[in-house]
Amino acid sequence: MDQLNSASSGGDLAATVGGDAAGWDAAGWDGTRPQAFQMPPAAVPVIDLSAPDEAATVAALGRACRDSGFFIAAGHGVPQPVVDAMFDQMRRLFALPLEDKMKMLQDENNRGYTPMAEETLDPERQTRGDTKEGFYFGREVPAGSPEADLPLHGPNVWPPPALLPGFRPAAEAYFREASTLGHRLLRLLALSLGLEPAHFDRYFDPPMAFLRPLRYGPEASSPGEGVFGAGAHTDYGMLTILATDGSPGLQVRLGGAWVEVPPAPGCFVCNLGDMLERWTNGLYRSTLHRVVSTSGKERFSLPFFFEPNFSAVVEALPCCVTPDRPARHPPTTAGAHLLEKYAATHAGYQQGAEKSGAGAGGGRENGGDQSDGGGGGAEEGR
Ligand SMILES: O=C(O)CCC(=O)C(=O)O
Ligand SMILES: [Fe+2]
């Protein structure tokens, strides 16, 4: 937290992460780096959830949601040892022989291993799949339970305890902590919209949540040649809570430029997904982002996708609809929304045909107006 400025402590709500290391200072652009690699003031504010002035926190959060849909959560209450243990186990998991990982391939419930380059988040611009491998873990739903009949629900594909005895306890502890943080953020989001703090709680009882350890290979991305750690996409769901190993790479599309989100040790990068954008009738933003690997080293990150339950009705909130701003979308459900997003981006998927939909729970959507100029700055368009 020492290298970060807090945006919620009441004073300067325009404080952002990065400081000099990101190429800008309190005065704005430092003029020495291409604009695409600078952090515009207030682009991704740090929000200290432990700050005593909750009204200021809520105001900062609402501003971040309207401006960029991204913020850095500090003072979040997740114990660092829980995060460290999870990263330690992730490293062990990805270090297993490919043969062992392939025995845990992603199943129809969106749980299990996704090999290197299996996913292409931005097929229009990518010449190869994302240079990353991953594992999906969801909320544990026992086989045979009524919930297990739902798409995207079922038991997890756990690494065999004989290979990785510490994995499941570490993942379950992390899952619990991330869920607690998710619920806490939901309450602040509700307040930021002028709603009762508990407004969203009923939709998340229980949540549909996915934890996805990711390992990016050391290969440097080459945007000009269509090679990315993760292609540009928006997240499908409500809220993503991301931890990283401190390596750079995450970029957000803001104001027509790709803006680096500098590593924020001990904090989480949070972003809103398409579902919350829909719920708020476009008031809160779901913003394109991507991973451009530059370090020449592997990179580990850990997104937690926090979604409402499958049957939750997602309908433009009355507070976000005005005569000038009529509802943009008809009501839907969280499950239908996720499966529809999936169908829109995955050839061959038939919505509702059968229990299916691997990938949707941690889903993302590609596209949008963007430039491929990794180090450029000027908008190149498509
Ligand atoms: O690895 C990262 O920094 C971002 C990953 C991401 O955007 C995603 O998995 O949706
Ligand atoms: Fe994402």
ipTM, two decimals? 0.99
Q: Is residue 292 in contact with ligand 1, taking CB distance under 6 Å?
A: no
- The reported pTM is 0.85
Rounded to whole angstroms, the Cα distance separating 71 from 329 reads 26
Burial 2-29 (b: 16+ CB within 10 A, else e): eebbbbbbeeebbbbbbbeebbbeeeee
Residue 78 pLDDT exceeds 70: yes
Domain with 221 in it: what CATH number?
Answer: 2.60.120.330
Contacts of 30 (CB under 8 A, 6+ apart): 20, 23, 24, 38
Q: Which residues surround ligand 2, an ion (CB under 5 A)?
A: 235
Q: Ligand 1 pocket check: which of 289, 295, 366 to mutate, most ligand atoms within 8 Å of Cβ?
A: 289
Look over the chain and give the mean of its residue pLDDT values, rounded to a whole number: 84
Q: Is residue 211 in contact with ligand 1, taking CB distance under 6 Å?
A: no
Give domain status of residue 343, yes or no: yes
Rounded to whole angstroms, the Cα distance separating 87 from 245 reads 8
Rounded to the nearest whole angstrom, what is the distance from the C-alpha of residue 41 to the centroid of ligand 2? Answer: 22
- Give the per-residue pLDDT at 338: 85
Q: How many domains does the chain have?
A: 1
β partners of residue 363: none
β partners of residue 46: 72
Give domain status of residue 369, yes or no: no
Strand 46-48 with 70-74, pairing: parallel
Burial 300-318 (b: 16+ CB within 10 A, else e): bbbbbbbbbbbebebbbbe
Give domain status of residue 323, yes or no: yes
170-192 pLDDT, tens digit per residue, is: 999 999 999 999 999 999 999 99
Give domain status of residue 299, yes or no: yes
For residues 286 and 277, the answer to whether their CB atoms sit within 8 Å is: yes
- Give the per-residue pLDDT at 35: 40
pLDDT bin (cut points 50, 70, 90) of residue 130 is very high
322-360 pLDDT, tens digit per residue, is: 999 999 999 999 999 988 876 665 444 444 445 644 444
| Residue among 66, 69, 50 nearest 7 (CA) | 50
Give domain status of residue 272, yes or no: yes
Give domain status of residue 377, yes or no: no
Give domain status of residue 156, yes or no: yes
Q: Ligand 1 pocket check: which of 240, 261, 275, 306 to mutate, most ligand atoms within 8 Å of Cβ?
A: 240
Helix axes 167-192, 54-67, angle to 10 degrees: 90
Look up the domain containing 216 and give its range. Answer: 11-360
Residue, of 345 and 152, whose pLDDT is higher: 152
Give domain status of residue 4, yes or no: no
SS (H, E, C) the chain: CCCCCCCCCCCCCCCECCHHHHCEECCEECCCCCHHHCCCCCCCEEEECCCCCHHHHHHHHHHHHHHCCEEEEECCCCCHHHHHHHHHHHHHHHCCCHHHHHCCECCCCCCEEECCCCCCCCCCCCCCCCCEEEEEEECCCCCCCHHHHCCCCCCCCCCCCCCCCCHHHHHHHHHHHHHHHHHHHHHHHHHHCCCCCCCCHHHHCCCEEEECCEEECCCCCEHHHCECCEEEEEECCCEEEEEECCCCCEEEEECCEEEECCCCCCCEEEEECHHHHHHCCCCCCCCCEEECCCCCCCEEEEEEEEECCCCCEECCCHHHCECCECCCCCCEEHHHHHHHHHHHHCCCCCCCCCCCCCCCCCCEEECCCCCCCCCCCCCCCC
- Give the per-residue pLDDT at 119: 87
Q: Is residue 293 in contact with ligand 1, taking CB distance under 6 Å?
A: no
Q: Is residue 235 in contact with ligand 1, taking CB distance under 6 Å?
A: yes
353-379 pLDDT, tens digit per residue, is: 456 444 444 556 565 455 444 333 322
Nearest CA to ligand 1 atom 9: 303
For residues 320 and 283, the answer to whether their CB atoms sit within 8 Å is: yes
